[in-house]
Amino acid sequence: MSSLFPMFLKLEGKRCLVVGAGKVGEPKIGGLIDTGARVHVIALEASEAVHEWASTAKITLELRAFDDGDLEGTFLAVIATASRALNGSIYREAQRRGVLCNAVDDPEYCDFYYPAVVRRGDLQIAISTNGQSPALSQKLRKQLERQFSPGYARWVAELGETRKLVLASALDPQRKRELLLSLASREALKAALAEESAKRVTANDRRVTA
């Protein structure tokens, strides 16, 4: 099997199609909403959450059967139906039109796979075993979630703001690189996480004494 090419896609403003809106499709739709994509959903039935997203204009929902024309102008498609025959039919049409496609839990009909992901704000760690062991991917995800505490989210956000200031400064390029590397050091991380922990303790103390 060929190696997968790891990447993070920018989907903001791009039309993404999801076929199926039940328990399998719902989390995929939610993930696409978070990217800022224009999410179009086709399904015979939809979960309560999907109906709620449609009512608040976060997605476009049509309760009907899939038609090949639904792929027109689509950048990426996710198939979340219980019919393998339908999955294969949609995938082949997506291939014909040059649309990236993923049939959930059906590797044969996938151009890409969903990795196991650890999210801490803007920090994302994606894990893949090239389809060999999804169970191992999930185990590693849980280990990394313990290793990378929620405090990383704030630290990464602060690093981003500081990076902008450093790059806009009058420092020479070499000094900028050195400074940015030092800010991302283990020592800087420990200090940031210790500060975050201290703030949480203080907040808890205030709630207890209130």
CATH classification at residue 108: 3.40.50.720
Evaluated on CA atoms 197, 199, 204, 208, the torsion sign reads positive
For residues 39 and 77, membership in a common domain is answered with yes
Amino acid of residue 37? A
Residue 169 has pLDDT above 70, yes or no: yes
Pairing label, strands 116-120, 123-127 = antiparallel
Mean pLDDT of the chain: 90
Residue 10 has pLDDT above 60, yes or no: yes
Residue 106 lies in a domain: yes
Count of structural domains within the chain: 3
For residues 119 and 95, membership in a common domain is answered with no
Helix, strand or coil, per DSSP, at residue 99: coil
Q: Are 72 and 96 in contact (CB under 8 A)?
A: no
For residues 51 and 104, membership in a common domain is answered with yes
For residues 69 and 126, membership in a common domain is answered with no
Give this prediction's pTM.
0.78
Q: Are 53 and 59 in contact (CB under 8 A)?
A: yes
For residues 76 and 31, membership in a common domain is answered with yes
Domain span at residue 174? 151-205
For residues 44 and 82, membership in a common domain is answered with yes
Q: How large is the average pLDDT for residues 178-192?
A: 80
For the ranges 93-107, 128-142, 183-197, the lowest mean pLDDT is seen at 183-197
H or E element: which one contains 136? helix 134-147
Evaluated on CA atoms 191, 196, 197, 202, the torsion sign reads positive
- Helices 48-55, 25-35: crossing angle, 10 deg rounding: 30
CA quadruple 134, 8, 176, 189: dihedral, nearest 10 = -30
Pairing label, strands 76-79, 15-21 = parallel
- The per-residue pLDDT for range 42-82, each reduced to its tens digit, is 999 999 999 999 999 999 999 999 999 999 999 999 999 99
